[in-house]
């Protein structure tokens, strides 16, 4: 029965693929307006790209992106000659929006910015994948719904090389995402070079061994040292530049005061007890957190963030703040002295004095970063001790934290577990998936998500955007990572870009085209959606 079902699903997929070939051109995420016209534009290796100097970058990226299908010359300066592909800025368009007009003589793309032109070229790339060298004439108008379209990557639990991170960025950009949230520090490792504290990468970028199996059931370790793995500052700069050329901004995350056991291993004075702890070999929530009382913790954080700001031009810096057990703080004379000095009192429920001390730490770091022209983002856990004035809240424990933040006039990035945790299983049977943390987030669920549920019109204005998270406890290599990302990222990208104009009637056909793109680029993807398995 199982085999029959799968064979039928496969046949269906092939059939739809063939139909798509002859049928209307398809683009994912769904554009605002698409009008098919008579005729075709012939793309050959003689086709010239005309671009003013400020659009040279998107033009060069396009030449690379279609290289597997057609060899195009490097872009020419803008000229009056109308043949070929012509790129222009049009400030009347939305910043990331574009208009594309394809006639038999020319393909004209106007963008609100270089990013808008780049997204127009991503759509054109999809048409090239679908039709090869004869592109059907059409007009497209398009612009994104959300300005923040993110994906997160945990490089701590398992490390991914500079080349792999670049491939990850390629995949995001092809889906018109514009933010990479780079999770660089945690209990199991410290992965960013900080010149002022060389101990961090010397000692905290490796762990003795790694857990085998699931953290809830296993106490068996593999006995294999992991690391040293980290990025030098030079490598970080290289990745930032690479991402910027694809209109992806990188938001670095430095976890504080929790998920910091690796840092405590290298610098024991960061903890309350100052006793050395190991770089964690288990997954989960560790009680070993930075001391919130001692002034040295704040000096450390400011020093680290000063170097982080010099590396990352991003306005937003992610300061973590999730899952911070307070058992050390409750016993710590420094934390308790600070609580008394600040006059913090237990206000019942979540508003313990210790949770308020965490809010004090967040607010201090917020002021420090604000003074340097930056803004903070943190996980919704940081709401427990009270919300700080300018923080953007990343809502992962459902959307309640995000809704609460919006009601207080704070900005929000929605990334609720039940739709956005791509480390969760993709099928109900879990057959063939390998080990994952748990949960169930099939493609269809991501695609049907209403990110505005529970928000009124006023609160909606505070939602900057949406993000998927890839926590890498159970992601041992880049191939596996891609299979968790694809094809679910395609579903998310349509929710991010085309929230209110999603087109479920054509999603299967469009996904067949995306699959061709994945194969052409040699990106691995999970087969379940294409096999009809949820
Ligand atoms: C919770 S989501 C965490 C991470 C884990 C993840 C696993 C969040 C802010 N914290 O430390 O890796 O669950 O899904």
Domains by residue range for the chain, with CATH = 20-142 (3.30.379.10), 148-501 (3.20.20.80)
Give the tens place of pLDDT for each residue, 469-511.
999 999 999 999 999 999 999 999 999 999 999 999 999 999 9
Q: What is the pLDDT of residue 514?
A: 98
Atom of ligand 1 nearest to the CA of 394: 9
pLDDT tier at 23, thresholds 50, 70, 90: low
Q: What is the pLDDT of residue 212?
A: 98
Question: Among candidates 93, 166, 85, which has minimal Cα distance to 128?
Answer: 85
Q: What is the pLDDT of residue 401?
A: 96
Question: Among candidates 258, 263, 265, which has minimal Cα distance to 304?
Answer: 263
**Gap from CA of 183 to ligand 1 centroid (Å):** 11
Atom of ligand 1 nearest to the CA of 439: 14
Q: What is the pLDDT of residue 77?
A: 82
**Gap from CA of 243 to ligand 1 centroid (Å):** 25
Q: What is the pLDDT of residue 14?
A: 44
Highest-confidence segment of 2-11, 73-82, 420-429:
420-429
pLDDT tier at 76, thresholds 50, 70, 90: confident
Distance CA 303, CA 163 (A): 28
For residue 289, the tally of other CB atoms under 10 A from its CB is 28
Q: What is the pLDDT of residue 354?
A: 98
Out of 141, 323, 418, 433, the active site residue is 323
For residue 219, the tally of other CB atoms under 10 A from its CB is 9
Atom 9 (ligand 1) nearest CA: 322
Atom 10 (ligand 1) nearest CA: 322
Strand partners, 227: none
Out of 152, 259, 318, 480, the active site residue is 259
Taking the model in full, what pTM does it have?
0.95
Residue 314: is its pLDDT beyond 90?
Answer: yes
Residue 5: is its pLDDT beyond 70?
Answer: no
Q: What is the pLDDT of residue 117?
A: 98
pLDDT tier at 16, thresholds 50, 70, 90: very low
Out of 186, 307, 381, 494, the active site residue is 186
Question: Among candidates 420, 413, 520, 516, which has minimal Cα distance to 468?
Answer: 420
**Gap from CA of 506 to ligand 1 centroid (Å):** 34
Q: CB of 323 within 8 A of CB of 285?
A: yes
User: Average pLDDT, whole number, for the chain?
Assistant: 95
Atom 12 (ligand 1) nearest CA: 471
Q: How far apart are the first and last CA of the chain?
A: 16
Strand partners, 466: 149, 414
Q: Could you give the 3-state DSSP secondary structure of residue 253?
A: strand
pLDDT mean over 280-285: 98
Q: What is the pLDDT of residue 424?
A: 98
Atom 5 (ligand 1) nearest CA: 471
Q: What is the pLDDT of residue 9?
A: 47
Atom 14 (ligand 1) nearest CA: 471
Q: Is 186 a catalytic residue?
A: yes
User: Who contacts 424 (Cβ-Cβ below 8 Å, separation ≥6)?
Assistant: 417, 436, 437, 438, 439, 440, 441
Q: CB of 134 within 8 A of CB of 72?
A: no
As given in the structure block, the two tokens for residue 230 are 């980290």
Q: What are the distances in angstroms from CA 534 to CA 52, 421, 426, 528?
A: 47, 16, 7, 7
Atom 7 (ligand 1) nearest CA: 471
Distance CA 71, CA 139 (A): 24
As given in the structure block, the two tokens for residue 198 are 């060389």
The proportion of the chain whose per-residue pLDDT surpasses 70, expressed as a percent, equals 95
Distance CA 171, CA 183 (A): 18
- The ligand 1 site (C-beta within 6 Å) comprises 259, 322-323, 379, 396, 421, 423, 437, 471, 473
Residue 419: is its pLDDT beyond 90?
Answer: yes
Q: What is the pLDDT of residue 303?
A: 98
**Gap from CA of 278 to ligand 1 centroid (Å):** 20
390 class by beta-carbon count within 10 Å (0-12 exposed, 13-18 middle, 19+ buried): middle
pLDDT mean over 137-154: 98
Q: What is the pLDDT of residue 433?
A: 97
Distance CA 108, CA 139 (A): 10
Q: Is 522 a catalytic residue?
A: no
Residue 19: is its pLDDT beyond 70?
Answer: no
Q: Is 323 a catalytic residue?
A: yes
Q: What is the DSSP letter of 472?
A: -
**Gap from CA of 77 to ligand 1 centroid (Å):** 48
Residue 331: is its pLDDT beyond 70?
Answer: yes
Atom of ligand 1 nearest to the CA of 322: 9
Distance CA 17, CA 22 (A): 9
Distance CA 376, CA 390 (A): 7
Q: CB of 403 within 8 A of CB of 455?
A: yes
**Gap from CA of 471 to ligand 1 centroid (Å):** 7
pLDDT tier at 74, thresholds 50, 70, 90: confident
State which H helix or E strand residue 198 sits in.
none
Cα torsion for 460, 462, 465, 469, to the nearest 10°?
-110
Q: What is the pLDDT of residue 20?
A: 44
Residue 149: is its pLDDT beyond 50?
Answer: yes
Q: What is the pLDDT of residue 3?
A: 52
pLDDT mean over 273-290: 98
**Gap from CA of 283 to ligand 1 centroid (Å):** 10
| Ligand 1 probe mutation, 322, 401, 484, most atoms within 8 A of CB | 322
């Amino acid at each position: 029965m199982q085999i029959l079902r799968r064979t039928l699903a496969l046949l269906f997929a092939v059939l739809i693929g063939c139909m798509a070939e002859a049928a209307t051109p398809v683009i994912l995420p769904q554009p605002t307006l698409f009008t098919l016209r008579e005729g075709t534009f012939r793309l050959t290796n003689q086709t010239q790209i005309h671009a003013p100097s400020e659009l040279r970058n998107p033009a060069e990226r396009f030449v690379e992106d279609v290289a597997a299908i057609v060899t195009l010359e490097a872009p020419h300066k803008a000229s009056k000659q109308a043949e070929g592909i012509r790129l222009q800025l049009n400030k009347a368009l939305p910043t990331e929006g574009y208009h594309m007009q394809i006639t038999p003589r020319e393909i004209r793309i106007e963008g609100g910015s270089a990013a808008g032109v780049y997204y127009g070229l991503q759509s054109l790339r999809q048409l090239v994948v679908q039709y090869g060298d004869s592109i059907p004439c059409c007009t497209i108008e398009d612009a994104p719904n959300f300005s923040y379209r993110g994906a997160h990557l945990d490089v701590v639990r398992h490390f991914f090389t500079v080349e792999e991170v670049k491939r990850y960025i390629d995949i995001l950009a092809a889906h018109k995402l514009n933010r990479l949230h780079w999770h660089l520090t945690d209990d199991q490792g410290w992965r960013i070079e900080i010149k002022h504290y060389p101990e961090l990468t010397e000692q905290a970028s490796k762990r003795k061994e790694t857990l085998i199996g699931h953290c809830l059931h296993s106490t068996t370790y593999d006995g294999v040292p992991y690391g040293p793995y980290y990025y030098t500052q030079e490598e970080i700069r290289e990745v930032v530049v690479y991402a910027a050329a694809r209109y992806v901004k990188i938001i670095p995350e430095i976890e504080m005061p929790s998920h910091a056991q690796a840092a405590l291993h290298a610098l024991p004075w960061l903890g309350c007890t100052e006793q050395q702890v190991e770089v964690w070999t288990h997954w989960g929530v560790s009680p070993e957190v930075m001391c919130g009382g001692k002034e040295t913790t704040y000096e450390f954080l400011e020093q680290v963030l000063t170097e982080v700001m010099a590396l990352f031009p991003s306005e937003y810096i992610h300061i973590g703040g999730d899952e911070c057990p307070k058992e050390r703080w409750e016993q710590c004379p420094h934390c308790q002295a600070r609580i008394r000095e600040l006059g913090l009192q237990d206000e019942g429920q979540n508003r313990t004095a210790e949770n308020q001390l965490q809010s004090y730490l967040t607010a201090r770091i917020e002021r420090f970063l604000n003074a340097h022209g930056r803004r903070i983002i943190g996980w919704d856990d940081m709401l427990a001790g009270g919300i700080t004035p300018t923080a953007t809240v990343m809502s992962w424990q459902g959307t309640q934290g995000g809704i609460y933040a919006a009601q207080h006039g704070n900005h929000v990035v929605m990334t609720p577990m039940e739709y956005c945790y791509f480390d969760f299983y993709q099928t109900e049977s879990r057959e063939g998936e390998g080990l994952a943390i748990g949960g169930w987030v099939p493609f269809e669920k991501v695609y049907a998500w209403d990110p505005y549920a529970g928000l009124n019109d006023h609160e909606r204005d505070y939602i900057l955007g949406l993000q998927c998270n890839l926590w890498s406890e159970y992601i041992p290599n880049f191939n596996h990572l891609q299979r968790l990302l694809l094809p679910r990222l395609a579903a998310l990208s349509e929710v991010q870009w085309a929230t209110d104009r999603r087109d479920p009637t054509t999603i299967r056909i469009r996904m067949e085209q995306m699959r061709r793109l994945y194969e052409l680029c040699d990106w691995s993807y999970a087969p379940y959606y294409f096999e009809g398995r949820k």
